Amino acid sequence: MSDTIAAIATPAGEGGISVIRLSGPKSLAFASALFRPSSADPHFKEFAPQRAYFGEIHDPGTQAMVDEVLLTFFKAPKSFTAEDVVEISAHGGLFVTNKILELLLDQGARLAEPGEFTRRAFLNGRIDLSQAEAVTDIIHAASDRALRSAVSQLKGSLSSKLNEWYERLLAVLAQLEASIDFSEEGLEFQKRETTLAEIQAIQKDLHALIETYRQGKIFREGAQVALLGKPNVGKSSLLNGLLKEDRAIVTPMPGTTRDTLEERVRIRDIHINIIDAAGIRENPELIEKKGIERAKAALNRADLALVIFDASEALDANDDLLIREAVDKPYKILLNKCDLPEQVDVPTLEKKFPNAEFIRLSAKTGAGLDALRESIYRFVMGDSSCNETLVITRERHRQCLMQASDALLKSCASLEQELSEEFVAVDVTMAMDQLSIILGKTFAEDLLDQIFGEFCIGK
């Protein structure tokens, strides 16, 4: 990484300020070629680290002034990338920002790739791979829970725990290797029972962390909640009620909704993705049939189904079809239109949906919506005991942890079956390798490309 990269670090568009960032050994030289410090700055002699300087950017070719800016210099290794970094804060216009970037590229800087600044921070050892992933989670956080989870990971909560397990397994492996290498020396080594107890303790803790994935995934991505019901049952009205705005078209005609509509709503400190789709009924029209297929697909990927029945009407064949679709998914039963006289056969529904929570509401008047929000929140949060503890939020982490857990279980089985230490050591090493992959102690370039490709340019 001997070259110097540059990129616009702020979103495209007009605003009060924009930031152009450089990282690499020639960052200060390239910026200095454009920057003229203000004569009113009595402190300027040369650029000192961690200080901001007011001045002007000039085109070296024409000597024309481009903009008044603030320039901040961060000396390696005390910067985000652990390299020399310069940040130029300019006025937030599209043309002026790109003009400054072009002048820096003319000096010899290279346009940064997506996530390359954070990638350099990882490769230079300033952060590990799980912390690098937390950077993008902070950027995309849409709720307090998501932000707290990402900040905790960035500060090293996950790294610290994984490193602790790694070091404990390393100590176990050292004992195993010693007993293998010096088995003929008549020396005493750690008892197999002690080794088994230590591996079992680590595996138990590791499995507990795996179990937090559902919670962590919801923190990061939001819960997927599908509205399921026959046509004209009030799904779109309910969506509008939860959003507190008229987002979905509502008419008295059945089948108005033909395609899926997804909207995000915040409930306390988490966000929920509400999916409204075509009503499920028998013998639909051709276009409506496509919508129903998409409704079923939305149900398959949902964390929770809100199964809606019209409380003002008796059950019919379409309701029977709805019941068959909903039984394999976590669900709550909503009896909508409770502002009208109740006609629905509730005892029959209670038999069809045993142990389900029934919520009476009126999407039209808003009655019961607060109770529904509270019910969704309770479901999403699950076991409140892990709300503030360490959680994993990425499928990559879960897969690695599952493989590590399986390897440790195999090592325990080998010890219990009194197999040779070589078999135990192989599985312990495999578990350590999986922890290393999460942290980025070992990695493949294509993995880095995949992870940092999710970042925006300039981060």
451's tokens: 């992870």
pLDDT tens over the chain, length 459 residues:
689 999 999 988 888 899 999 999 999 999 999 999 886 556 666 788 988 899 999 999 999 999 999 999 999 999 999 999 999 999 988 899 999 999 999 999 999 999 999 999 999 999 999 999 999 889 888 778 888 889 999 999 999 999 999 999 999 988 888 877 655 555 556 788 889 999 999 999 999 999 999 888 888 888 889 888 888 888 888 888 888 765 544 445 444 444 567 888 888 878 888 888 765 555 555 445 555 566 667 677 778 888 888 988 888 777 777 667 666 778 899 999 999 998 888 888 888 888 889 999 998 889 999 999 999 998 888 755 445 568 899 999 999 999 999 999 999 999 999 888 889 999 999 999 999 999 998 877 877 888 888 888 888
Please, what is the end-to-end C-alpha distance for the chain in angstroms?
Answer: 16
* Second-level CATH architecture of 5-123: 2-Layer Sandwich (3.30)
- What is the pLDDT, as a whole number, of residue 227? 87
User: Which amino acid, one-letter code, is at 287?
Assistant: I
CATH number of this structure's domain 224-381? 3.40.50.300
C-beta separation of 6 from 456 below 8 A:
no
H-type alpha helices, 88-185: 94-107, 116-123, 129-140, 144-154, 157-181
pTM above 0.75, yes or no: yes
Domain positions in the chain: 5-123, 143-212+392-440, 224-381
For residue 339, the one-letter residue type is D
Q: ∠ CA(348), CA(349), CA(353), 5° rounding?
A: 125
- Residue 92, H or E segment: strand 85-92
Q: Please report the pLDDT score of residue 345 as a whole number.
A: 87
Contact 248, 276 (CB under 8 A): yes
* CATH classification code of 143-212+392-440: 1.20.120.430
